[in-house]
Amino acid sequence: MKINAKDFQVREGDRVKLKKWPTLAKPVYKSKDQYQQLLAAQVEELSALQQLLYASNRHAVLLIFQAMDAAGKDGAIRHVMSGINPQGCQVFSFKHPSATELEHDFLWRTTQSLPERGRIGIFNRSYYEEVLIVRVHPEILLGQGLPDGLVDKKTIWKERYRSIVDLENHLHRNGTRIVKFFLHLSQEEQRKRFLERIDEPEKNWKFSQADMEERKFWNPYMRAYEDCLSATSTRIAPWYVVPADDKENARLIISHIVLDTFKALKMRYPETDAKRREELQSIRQQLLET
């Protein structure tokens, strides 16, 4: 399987124009069976690396997923992370902030859910909602209780980008590796998936009028994503724009990038020194005698 993660990475300082980024890429699989085999192999490898992450206990990994509705975030998380030990991984989905959360800065609620060393954290939507949906719907910003002098639409988004980059730099310096995925879905493919959710009874629960209302803001969302990706993709916390019109292909690309991230950590199991070996041999002798 030939996947080059850099083909999907937004380089630091690049100006993103999403129309130039494909929503459909050449498949890395030739059949459904091959897709399942490739994904299974990657899931097995990721499971082994997760165990090593936990044992070495030096790094945490944070995976962030952002996308328009129906882009396949939930499915990607479910399939790519299917072999992960639940004890070492937590998934958080951030929706409308609570009254308590609104009394704090915009990063507070997500900061509380950051992964510990040795663990994987997954944010299905994240603090990036604060420069996406809040930007598209500025009335949300007015309800956040900020001092009047701080709500300047000409500067607030740049200030929030800076806060986010500062946070991610801080986390990197303390051992957390952050990888961010934008699942790039076409408007036509979203229409098809919405129709499926209406036409297939078992998918009706996934769709509401609110989804249709958000679809009307497609162009403002694309502009918000372009500015966000451009301002916050860095060498140490990159954004990957993953073509999402083919769900299976997107999952293989994501799992490959996640594996690359783990391998780059150069982890190893803790070494057993002479004192520890002596202790283990003593315990072994006790077990033989009981």
| Span 69-85, pLDDT tens digits | 999 999 999 999 998 88
Strand, helix or coil at 122?
strand
Domains of the chain: residue spans and CATH: 5-289 (3.40.50.300)
* Residues near 229 by beta carbon (within 8 Å), at least 6 away in sequence: 10, 16, 182, 239, 241
pTM beyond 0.95, yes or no: no
Mean predicted confidence (pLDDT) in 125-138: 95
Q: What is the pLDDT of residue 1?
A: 61
Local confidence band at 150 (pLDDT 50, 70, 90 cut-offs): confident
In this structure, are residues 183 and 244 in contact, taking their beta carbons and an 8 Å threshold?
A: yes
Q: What is the pLDDT of residue 236?
A: 97
| pLDDT tens-digit readout, 57-72 | 999 999 999 999 999 9
Mean predicted confidence (pLDDT) in 138-151: 86
The beta strand positions in 35-175, using DSSP E, are 60-67, 89-93, 120-124
pLDDT over 80 (residue 290): no
Mean predicted confidence (pLDDT) in 17-21: 98
Cα separation, 228 vs 115, whole angstroms = 23
